[in-house]
A and B are shown apart, each in its own frame.
Chain A
Amino acid sequence: MSARRRAVDPVQRELFRHAVAALVDEMAVAMVRTARSTHLKNSMDLSSALCDAEGRLIAQGLTLPLHLGSVPDAMRAFMARFGGEMRPGDVYALNDPYAGGTHLPDIYTAQPVFRGGRVIGHVVTIAHHADVGGKTAGGNGCDATELFQEGICLPPVRLMAEGERVEHVWRLLERNVRVPNQVLGDLRAQLAAGHVGERGLLALAEEHGPRRLADLGAAVLDYAAERARLAIREIPDGVYGFTDYLDDDGIDPEPIPIQVTLHVEGDRITVDFTGSGGQVRGSINCPMPFTKSAAYACVRCAMPTDIPNNEGHFRPIEVTAPEGTIVNPRPPAPVAARGLTGFRIANAVLGALAQAVPERVPAAEAGGDTGVSLAGYDAQGEPFVMLEFLFGSWGGRPFADGPDGVSSVVVNFANNPAEVIEAEHPIAIDRYEFVPDSGGDGQFRGGLAVERHYRMLAEQTTLNLRSDRRTRGPYGLQGGEPGATSSSVLVRDGERTELAGKGTTALRRGDVFEHRTAGGGGWGPPERREAAARARDRRAGKVTG
């Protein structure tokens, strides 16, 4: 408890902690409820956050762990650009992955909140937009070789100036994206969340006054840091290494290692990515803020769940990666599909943690490796972009099977209802079911893969696929077997063609695109699996034979 500030009453701090947690949740709800794109409003690929006057992350909404660690870097970029010239009613935006962002589709907004002429804090939102222009609709293409092919890049810019729209920025965006109604609508949803956040922060300032507000923010950060240190102290000291692999970058066929070494020493952890593959030609390079986010999120999984979601818990965690690697690329390396690498980083970090605290860490999950974008023009000539991410299941756990059909631990997306997709896009969903026998066997079985079939109703549709785990299934632990590998098939006129894991394919009306995610890895030796569990699986048809 050494670093605790004495100035703040712990009771006051607890009250404040609860208040800011509720506020950022409200912001997230406002964004979901006003969003326009299928992906944002259904999958909830978004985040909300509250920062103090210095830009430190005080609270993040309960949405997306992989975003959390990136907010401080974005805030630094906003402060560096606008620090001296912020005005009430301003809202800033950025998506530049080399200046505070993580990839172009994720647009960050920040709004300073003023009281009595001074900044008392910032409300921040992140939303994954349905399109940002570029060569691939949906902004997740794997086949770009430079950032410039991936869409419009916003360094920190003013989106609203003293309450008025900065028209040229909005128009520039409008003219550079395929579905401007959705993109501008989703931006307004971000502003709606900002509105809610500002209102709440002002109410807190009214209650506490600006000075105590700042002290409380600092105290909440200290508290999270202290909780994190205590949790790390529970992890045995040592050096733990693990390497997982990406199949390829979509251009060059070689597997790419993600190597991680954890140094646990007392109440500190260093996560070192030395030994990971060099940056690649394809767009799965992962900018450092996202790499850090993934590492924080995984270390966080080994801690109690009730630690507040703020940057305090990063303090005892140091993340390092050599420049020029896939986990810390140099500009202008393309990064659109960096999410994929983020998932693999998570697999690698958890794999290393499993050696330190084997009783707490599951085998590899299927991950959110699969991103599907289907885009084109409907019968009326209106553009459409349908973007979604498919999730399989978790790996087997030291105490239970992996649940079948659940979002990745590090993003917690929701799925898109088939009926909503069909009502909004010229696409039919023909199947959304478990794949039997696809979970890694083990004392505790890995969760099953999930299969989804898309039938094209438009004359022409462009499929962009971002997937992985074609050559190596998600790893098992403690003797458990790996989960099944993923697969993609194009069915045209009854003929089935295997598709590569990454790439762009022109589809025609009537074509069916079938994707199977990977299955989760198993935990513990299969011979230890209880007969009752095997019987249950057979009865449910989850395992055949």
Chain B
Amino acid sequence: MRAAADVGGTFTDLVAVDAQGAVARHKTLSTPPNFDAGVLAGLKACCGGSLELLASLLHASTVATNAILERRGPRTGLITTEGFRDVLEIGRLRYPRLYDLSWLRPEPLVERRLRLGVGERMAADGSVVRPLDERSVAAALDVLVKADVEAVAICLLNSYVNDRHEVEVERLVRERLPEAAVSRSSAVLPLIREYDRTSTSVINAYLQPVMGDYLGRLAEALQDAGSRAPILMLQSSGGVMPAAEAAELPAFCLESGPTAGVLAAAQLARKRGLDRVLAFDMGGTTAKAAVVLDGAPAIAPELELGGGISWGTRLTRGSGYLLRTPTIDLAEIGAGGGSIARVDQAGGLSVGPDSAGADPGPACYGRGGSEATLTDVSVVLGHFSPSSLLGGDMSIDAELADRAVAQHLAGPLGSDVARAADAARQVAAAELARALRAVTSERGVDPAAFTLVAFGGGGPGMAAAVADLLGIRRVLVPAGPGVFSATGLLGADLRWMATHSPLIDLSATDAVSRLDEALGSLRERCMTLAAAGGYRGADLEIESVAECRYRGQSFEIPAAVPEGGVTKRTLDTIRDRFEALHEATYGHRDPTSPVIAAVLRVSAVRENEPIALRESQERSEQQVQRRAWFQGRWRSVPVVRRGDLGRRPTPGPLIVEDYDATTVVPPGWRGSREADGALLLEASR
């Protein structure tokens, strides 16, 4: 039996599958601060009380992310090159929202007095300008010892070229502070750009004790429950790694929950042979979008944590903590079921980014919320049940929803309640479409050619409306859409990654030998990491990527490195692949310009064994119709359970209610149920 746990701030989702492919799902409240309790309770519920047969626990958790957002990590120190202690605080200098003079910078994770410069200097070519002054390191350590730090990050200038001084500092730190967690930037992330490297190393150091404690407790709890199953932690790049490594490199495991959702969509894409999938995950406060091409999620080079809305570009940086680690390329936007819809003085209608959250929640929850949320809007329009959600666990007061929409939207817009609700829903759809466009049109790809995979509590309800805006004609709503992310964990591959920025000019005479050497040492590093986890070369597949750019550019486009030994032809292939992508995205090639392989990334992958899930489907006991608003008028719309639908498409309007989500099939769309239990929505025009 294999199980997956996706621990979020509010809910812990569990999915278990046995050798025959039978699936059990469970959703339970999270149990902060001891999240392991919730995981264990859910696991037992899924596994029939006993964990003896559990082979592995795949895990995604918000613990690391929350530790940063809530600043619950340990006191951390930073040792850097003299003259650069404020790099961490200054960041990229930009403020996140134009004209907003009220911006407050998030407190750096290391306070200034614990950011200490040491005497040393490496030149950009790796030569030593000034040898390491050990006395200055000792002085810095005096401060850190006195301050009782539990974690230390080390980031020296140009260490991505030559790590000698950093290694030496690390030795000295470990001598004086044997108990402290240590993150050395050249080990965590040997890439150019000192702020990116410093920030990432600091986050890693800050999280090491947190993640170590958490995973330690969870392992203990599992053992106490009679299981020896290994815990495999999901990385933001989409692979899992053994718990021991995750405790060393926690920075690579942030935002694992959203990542799990994209993985799930990618697995679905591979299973069905879909080459263009857009993952659309909408929860209570945010929606996430990601592209999956040929079954592989797109990877972004960085992530800003705690910045509110993240667009995965450099445009809106400055509001959070920067991680320069490969991350599944997500666009996140503040629009979810709890997002508040309102009308400004000039008649402008907006939805989000502020949310009513879980408490008080939407007005219709009857817990004191009075503003109109997207959930209220859906209730008013009859898209959501007027009496209860979550299979009856959550009761709904439709009158409160009506009142909220009337007061906050219809009144100011001077329209009736239904039209106002419909307008808010359309604006929300437009916001959601922005997130989806950020991951498609920015790459120069037309979203219309994609299949939208919609999940999360809110995704299935909005999917068709969003698809209409983007010209998308096919939407898939997988079985168990509310815990789909956890399902994605079940099929995650083991992945070890090594990265370096050697800046190889592909047209240089020594390019073949340099590339060969660089890839070789990265491969070796991956193998060493895998071996430490008990995995041998024979089971591993190697993937190599060269992130390239034209000389003079600063941003790379990843090109897959062909397998086999490096030859002149390898270089040509890399260049070709890079230029084709460059042209597709930006409209031009530059055949006269040298191409630089700036960053190399090698992964060792051990594929997870595929499992075929067997789904059971619920059917309704009787035919139900509900009054719902579509295309400017009220209609009587059938409300069905997933099991009621067959392979033959049923035309919309139609509402499909699952335990954990409601799927809306509007007029102009039709819905059918696929063999794997997924709902397929197709535009009929």
Question: Residues of A at under 8 Å CB distance from B?
Answer: 1, 4, 10-11, 14-15, 18-19, 22, 25-26, 28-30, 32-38, 41-42, 44, 61-63, 65, 181-182, 185, 188, 191-192, 195-196, 199-200, 223, 226-227, 230, 297, 300-301, 303-306, 309, 360-362, 391, 394, 397, 399-400, 403-407, 409, 412-415, 417-420, 422-423, 428, 430-434, 450, 453, 539-542
Determine which of B111, B317, B347 lies in contact with A540 in the assembled complex, contact meaning CB atoms within 8 Å: B111
Chain B interface (Cβ < 8 Å from any Cβ of A): 83-87, 89-95, 97-105, 111-113, 121, 123-124, 129, 157-158, 160, 192-196, 311, 313-318, 344-350, 413, 423, 426-427, 430-431, 433-434, 437-438, 441-442, 444, 469, 503, 550, 552-555, 582, 585-588, 590, 593
Tell whether A419 pairs with B441 under 8 Å between CB atoms, given A391-B93, A540-B111, A541-B112.
no
Q: With contacts A191-B587, A403-B104, A419-B124 known, is A414 near B93, CB below 8 A?
A: yes
- A540 partner residues in chain B, CB cutoff 8 A: 111-113
Q: Please report the C-alpha to C-alpha distance between residue A541 and residue B117 in the assembled complex, in whole angstroms.
A: 14
For B557, the closest partner residue in chain A by CB is A33
Flag if A417 contacts B553 (CB, 8 Å). no
Q: Which residues of B contact A403 (CB under 8 A)?
A: 95, 103-105
The 10 closest A-B pairs by CB, nearest first: A195-B587, A36-B552, A431-B83, A192-B586, A405-B90, A422-B124, A540-B112, A41-B554, A415-B93, A33-B555
How far is it, in angstroms, between the C-alpha of A431 and the C-alpha of B129 when the chains are bound? 15
The interface residues of chain B lying within 8 Å CB-to-CB of A11 are: 349, 423, 426-427
Q: Is the CB of B97 within 8 A of A1?
A: no
Contact at B84–A418, with CB atoms within 8 Å?
yes
Nearest-Cβ distance from residue A521 to partner chain B, whole angstroms: 14
Closest-by-CB residue of A relative to B84 is A432
Given contacts A403-B103, A422-B158, A305 and B314 within 8 Å (CB-CB): no
Q: Which of A15, A35, A37, A226 contacts B346 (CB 8 A)?
A: A226
Residue from B99, B102, B157, B196 with most neighbouring chain A CB atoms (10 Å): B99
CA distance A182 to B551 in the complex (A): 10
Cβ-defined contact, B348 with A223, below 8 A: yes
**In chain B, what residue has the closest Cβ to A19?**
B430
Contact A227 B346 (CB under 8 A): yes
Let me know if B586 and A223 touch, CB within 8 A.
Answer: no
Given contacts A188-B588, A192-B586, A405-B86, contact A414 B346 (CB under 8 A): no
Q: Are A42 and B554 in contact (CB under 8 A)?
A: yes
Which of the residues A303, A417, A434 comes within 8 Å of B195, measured between beta carbons? A417
**In the complex, how many angstroms separate the beta carbon of A159 from the nearest chain B beta carbon?**
13
Structural contact, B99 and A185, CB atoms closer than 8 A: no
Chain A residues within 8 Å of B503, by CB: 423
> In the complex, which of the residues A29, A304, A418, A433 contacts B194, with contact meaning CB atoms closer than 8 Å?
A418
A173 to B: closest C-beta gap in Å: 16
A66 vs B90: C-alpha distance in the bound complex, in angstroms?
22
When distances are taken between beta carbons in the complex, the residues of chain B under 8 Å from A433 are 83-86
CA of A404 to CA of B194, assembled, Å: 19
| Contact yes or no, B98 A65, CB < 8 A | yes
Number of A-B contacts (CB under 8 A): 223
Q: A62-B316, A181-B552 are in contact. Are A400 and B124 (CB under 8 A)?
A: no
Q: Which residues of A contact B431 (CB under 8 A)?
A: 18
CB of A359, distance to nearest CB on chain B (Å): 11
| Complex interface: chain A residues within 8 A of B434 (CB) | 18, 22
Tell me the complex Cα distance, A101–B282, Å.
Answer: 45
| A-chain residues with CB within 8 Å of residue B196 when the two chains form the complex | 417
| Docked CA distance A431–B90 (Å) | 13
The residue of chain B having its C-beta at the shortest distance from the C-beta of A226 within the complex is B346
List A contacts of B92 (CB < 8 A).
414-415
A430-B314 CB under 8 A given contacts A227-B346, A230-B345, A415-B93: no
Closest Cβ of chain B to A542, distance in Å, is 7
A226 CB to closest chain B CB, in angstroms? 4
**How far is it, in angstroms, between the C-alpha of A63 and the C-alpha of B434 when the chains are bound?**
18
Q: Within the assembled complex, what's the spacing in Å between the Cα atoms of A132 and B157?
A: 32
User: Are A62 and B315 CB-contacts (below 8 A) given A191-B588, A391-B93, A540-B113?
Assistant: yes
- A485→B311 CA distance, assembly (Å): 38
Which residue of chain B lies nearest to A391 when distances are taken between CB atoms in the complex? B93
Task: Find out whether the CB atom of B553 lies under 8 angstroms from the CB atom of A41.
Answer: yes
* Contact B314–A419 (Cβ < 8 Å): no
Q: A406-B93, A419-B160 are in contact. Are A32 and B316 (CB under 8 A)?
A: no
**In contact, A405 and B93 (Cβ under 8 angstroms):** yes
CB–CB B194/A417 < 8 A: yes
Closest to A222 in B: B346
CB-CB nearest in chain B for A451? B83
Point out the residues of chain A lying under 8 angstroms from B98, CB to CB.
Answer: 62, 65, 305, 309, 412
Chain B residues lying within 8 Å of A300, measured Cβ to Cβ, are 99
A-B contact pairs, 6 of them (CB 8 A): A11-B349, A181-B593, A196-B441, A432-B86, A433-B84, A539-B113
**Can you name 17 extra interface pairs (CB under 8 A) apart from A10-B349, A433-B85?**
A10-B347, A10-B413, A19-B430, A33-B586, A36-B553, A37-B552, A62-B315, A185-B550, A400-B104, A414-B92, A414-B317, A419-B157, A419-B158, A419-B194, A422-B158, A432-B86, A450-B90
Alpha-carbon gap, A542 to B108, bound state (A):
14
Residues of A within 8 A of B593 (CB): 181, 185
| C-alpha gap A304/B97 in the complex (Å) | 11
Given A185-B550, A430-B83, A431-B83, A305 contacting B97 (CB threshold 8 A): yes
**Chain A residues within an 8 Å CB radius of B85:** 433
State whether B553 touches A415 (Cβ < 8 A). no
Q: A539 CA to B143 CA in the complex, in Å?
A: 13
Give A15 to B344 CA distance when docked, in angstroms. 16
A18: B residues at CB distance < 8 A: 427, 430-431, 433-434
Q: Are A303 and B99 in contact (CB under 8 A)?
A: yes
Most buried by A among B92, B469, B585: B92
Say whether, besides A29-B442, A34-B553, A36-B552, A306 and B89 are in contact (CB < 8 Å).
no
Q: How far is the CB of B140 from chain A (nearest CB, A)?
A: 14
Contact call B100/A305, Cβ cutoff below 8 A: yes
- Contact across chains for A32 and B555 when beta carbons are under 8 A apart: yes
Give the residues in chain A near B426, CB-CB below 8 Å: 11, 15
The 8 Å CB contact of A230, one of B91, B100, B195, B346, is B346
Q: How far is the CA of A10 from the CA of B83 in the complex (A)?
A: 54
Query: Beyond A419-B160, A540-B112, is A15–B586 a contact (Cβ under 8 Å)?
Result: no
Across the interface, do A22 and B438 meet the contact criterion of CB distance under 8 Å?
Answer: yes
Distance between Cα atoms of A406 and B95 in the complex (Å): 7
B83 touches A453 (CB 8 A): yes
CA distance A397 to B311 in the complex (A): 29
**Shortest beta-carbon distance, B502 to chain A, in Å?**
12
Task: Given the known inter-chain contacts A22-B434, A433-B84, please indicate yes or no for A34 contacting B194, CB distance below 8 A.
Answer: no
CB-CB under 8 A from B444, the residues of chain A are 196, 199
Shortest CB-to-CB span from A2 to chain B, Å, is 11
Contacts A14-B348, A37-B552, A418-B157 given; does A428 touch B123 at CB 8 Å? yes
Cβ–Cβ contact A412 & B94, under 8 A: yes
CA distance A539 to B114 in the complex (A): 10
CB distance from B424 to the nearest CB of A (A): 9
Cα separation A278 to B376 with both chains bound (whole Å)? 61
Whole-angstrom CA separation of A407 from B104 in the bound complex:
13
CB distance from B589 to the nearest CB of A (A): 10
A35-B554, A422-B158 known; A15-B430 Cβ under 8 A: yes
A423 with B347, Cβ < 8 A, contacts A418-B84, A433-B86, A542-B112 known:
no
How distant is the Cα of A196 from the Cα of B313 in the complex, in angstroms? 16
- CB-CB < 8 A to A417: which residues of B? 192-196
B105 contacts across to A, CB distance below 8 A: 403, 406
CA distance A15 to B348 in the complex (A): 11
CB–CB B99/A301 < 8 A? yes
Distance, CA A360 to CA B99, complexed state (A): 12
Q: Give every chain B residue within 8 A of A422 (Cβ-Cβ).
A: 123-124, 158
Partner of B587, one of A44, A192, A230: A192
CB nearest to A455 among chain B residues: B129
CB distance from A379 to the nearest CB of B (A): 12
Task: Provide the residues of chain A in CB contact with B346, threshold 8 Å.
Answer: 1, 223, 226-227, 230
